[in-house]
Amino acid sequence: MSVVPNISKKRKFVADGVFYSELNEFFARSLAKDGYAGVEVRVTPVKTEIIVKATKPDDIVGDKGRRILELTSVLRKRFNFPEGALELFAERVANRGLNAQIQAESLKFKLVAGLAVRRACSAVLKFVMESGAKGAEVSVSGKVRGQRAKTQKFSDGYMIKSGHAKTEFIESAVRHIMLRTGILGIKVTIMHPQDPKGINGPKNPLSDVITILEPKDDSY
């Protein structure tokens, strides 16, 4: 007989979402300087595999794999995984300019270093658009200058805001900066291009894209 507890689908989806959110927050805090760009969870009958995407995967692995073993041990104790049931991998990001989390961290470090908001946001927008994005939007909220809090938005290119295509093409990331005057909120939104190979964006085109085929020769 199976000893696996009978859990409803609704509870399973909620549990998986909480697990993913906690993983994402943990890696975003501990691997910020290593260019953390996202996490992917693969569950197999034998073990659970966690793939950490970053711009510096060698730094995550560490000297002789010491650091990645430490991270695996911390996660195993936190989520009560048995010995050998959890494995951690580090993977390099294909295109860092099309990753919202990397660009949000980049903007965060620029603002902490004291760069002007407009100049920092313009630099991030330019880099994202040069990397092949269809559109990008950066917003900074808080006490940017003076005592009154406000939101500054900078955008470039084409951006969709609703529909099913938003879930496929749009990626966004949020970061917070603790300053003396208060907290600054950063949001970076990137619209990916359509990529037939599925590397830089979704394989399927947008629903309003019309492709006109050449007529066939009628040979009788």
State how far the Cα of 196 lies from the Cα of 205, in Å rounded to an integer: 9
- Among left, alpha and beta (phi > 0; psi -120 to 50; other), residue 33 is alpha
Cα R_g (the chain), whole angstroms? 21
Residue whose C-alpha is closest to residue 106's, from 98, 154, 219, 183: 98
Helices marked H in the chain: 9-30, 57-61, 66-78, 100-112, 117-130, 164-169
Percentage, residues of the chain above pLDDT 70: 97
Mean of per-residue pLDDT scores for the chain: 88
pLDDT band at 119 (very low <50, low <70, confident <90, very high): very high
pLDDT in tens, 29-69: 888 888 888 889 998 888 889 999 888 888 888 888 889 99
Q: Is the dihedral of CA 120, 28, 43, 86 positive or negative?
A: positive
pLDDT in tens, 185-204: 999 999 999 888 888 888 88
Residue whose C-alpha is closest to residue 24's, from 51, 56, 44: 51
State how far the Cα of 182 lies from the Cα of 46, in Å rounded to an integer: 47
Is 71 a residue whose pLDDT tops 50? yes
94 or 159, greater pLDDT = 159
